[in-house]
Every structure is written in C-alpha cells, then in structure tokens.
Amino acid sequence: MSNSQTFVIKTLKKMNLKGGTVIDGFATTGITNTIASECILHSINTQLIATIESSYFSQLSVVRNSIPYFPVRIYANEELKTSIFISEISMDPSVYFFIGTTMLNWAKENECDLIISSSNIVNTPEQTNAAGSKEYSISGVGNTVGARNRLKDAKISLLKNGTIGGIPAVLLNQSSELGIDTIILLVKIMEGIPDFRAAAELSTTISQLVPGVSCNVPLLLQEAEKIEKEITKIKTQDTESEMNAYG
C-alpha cells in the first residue's frame, strides 16, 4: 500500500503556515503526547483545518460537547504558524511508516520548517532512585545541526546514545531529505506516575522551542484526571464495534 492511497487528508480550511511548526500529537508510547498536544491546541486558539481518513483506522466518531469529530484531525493557528496533528485512537504499528510520511508530506506541501514529536521512556521506581533523578525529565534528539541547535538554545539536553521507535522514528529518519528540521523530545517518566504530569512538563518544553505557543498548565493539572480517563477510554473503545456513551 502507498500512503497516498491509504490516507486521505481532507482540507476544511486553508491557512498560510509557511515557515511554521508541526506538532505530532499521535500516541505511540503512552498518551503523554496526546494530552500535551490537546492542551496546546486549546490554549492557543487553534481551528480545525483538516481531517485524515483511512480504512486502516478504527471507524470511530469522537463526540465532544455534542459535536462529532473524525478521530484523526489537524488543527492550526495561522498567526503562530503552528499546526497540530491529533488522534485519540490506537494505531497499529504496521501503519506507523505511512502515518509518518503522510505528516512529512503535508508539512512539506505547507512549507513548514520544523516538526516536533515525542516519545516516553518509562523507568521503574528502582531505576529512578538508582539514577537519583526526578519523577520525569526531558531530553531531545534532532535530525540536523539546526534542530540540535534549537535544543541547545532551549537548554534541553541532547540524547547521546539510544533508540527511538514508532512514528517519531519515521519522522526522524525520513525528514532530512525533505529539508525539514525534526526534534524528538524524550520524556523519561517513572512507572506509576500519571501521564498528565509528564504532559505538563512536555507542553512547557515545547513552548520553549516554539515562540508564542503555550499550554494552560494550571488548567491542565486541574482537568488532568478527567482528560486522561477520557483519552484512555476512547483508545479502549476504538477496538469495539458497539456504541459507547459516556460523560
């Protein structure tokens, strides 16, 4: 299968995003990325500009405030030149490559300069205590000198050795030939610590990399448990065929 045949982006609103940033809100390792992206898109007054449809996605409609939405969407703020890919559904690893290249091609077509994604690294309490580290910490890796300099300027430590999987790996490996800087933020969290606490730290780190982008962290922490339960429930429901109602 080819991504052009498998994933269809339906544009709802055209925006000038030249020179801007794409934030990957797909969850491949935990839901920290999705929670942080949701916080940012609500905090910077984004608009829904496109949906992504595919027969490879679970056929689900996400209802928010009585309005149904496609489960995979793109939001953007034209003034800040920032777009966010968001999804509440689980993705099969077999489509990671096609999702990643679809995002990259969209970023290229819209002349975006930077893509930011993230991945969780989960430590046990014993590993965390042995390392003498905090409950969570963030480091990063960039595909180009420019991307690595962005991390250094934001005082984010660089990953020296390791491996990255999932959609972030596709973005990292495939972006250089398209001339797009890509940064993967690695969120090291302690096993048992709620995702929303790491999401608050992640969203704050993203705001250091993208001028004007912010997350209402106090509101996130206030609504965190509700958001985390909702996203977890949607990700559980997307494998079921029957209708589910909640909230």
pLDDT band at 34 (very low <50, low <70, confident <90, very high): confident
pTM, full prediction: 0.84
Residue indicated by tokens 């302690």: 190
Residue 214 pLDDT greater than 80, yes or no:
yes
- Rounded percentage of the chain residues whose pLDDT exceeds 90: 49
pLDDT band at 67 (very low <50, low <70, confident <90, very high): confident
- Supply the pLDDT for residue 243: 41
**Neighbouring-strand partners of residue 64:** 67
- Supply the pLDDT for residue 142: 97
- Report pLDDT digits (tens) over 87-101: 878 788 999 999 999
**Rounded to the nearest 5 degrees, what angle is found at the Cα of 45, between the Cα atoms of 116 and 207?**
35
33 vs 136: which has the higher pLDDT? 33
User: 119-123, 158-162, 217-221, 238-242: which has the highest mean pLDDT?
Assistant: 158-162
Instruction: Considering the domain delimited by 10-237, tell me its CATH architecture.
Output: 3-Layer(aba) Sandwich (3.40)
- Supply the pLDDT for residue 226: 66
99 token code pair:
């999702």
Residue 60 pLDDT greater than 50, yes or no:
yes
Amino acid at 176: S
**What does pLDDT average to over the chain?**
83
240 vs 229: which has the higher pLDDT? 229
Cβ atoms 105, 45 nearer than 8 A = no
Question: Domain extents for the chain?
Answer: 10-237
Helices (H), the chain: 3-6, 32-43, 96-109, 125-131, 145-153, 166-174, 195-209, 217-237
pLDDT band at 247 (very low <50, low <70, confident <90, very high): very low
Question: How far is Cα 26 from Cα 13, in angstroms, rounded to an integer?
Answer: 21
Question: How far is Cα 74 from Cα 128, in angstroms, rounded to an integer?
Answer: 36
- Supply the pLDDT for residue 242: 40
Residue 175 pLDDT greater than 50, yes or no:
yes
Amino acid at 2: S
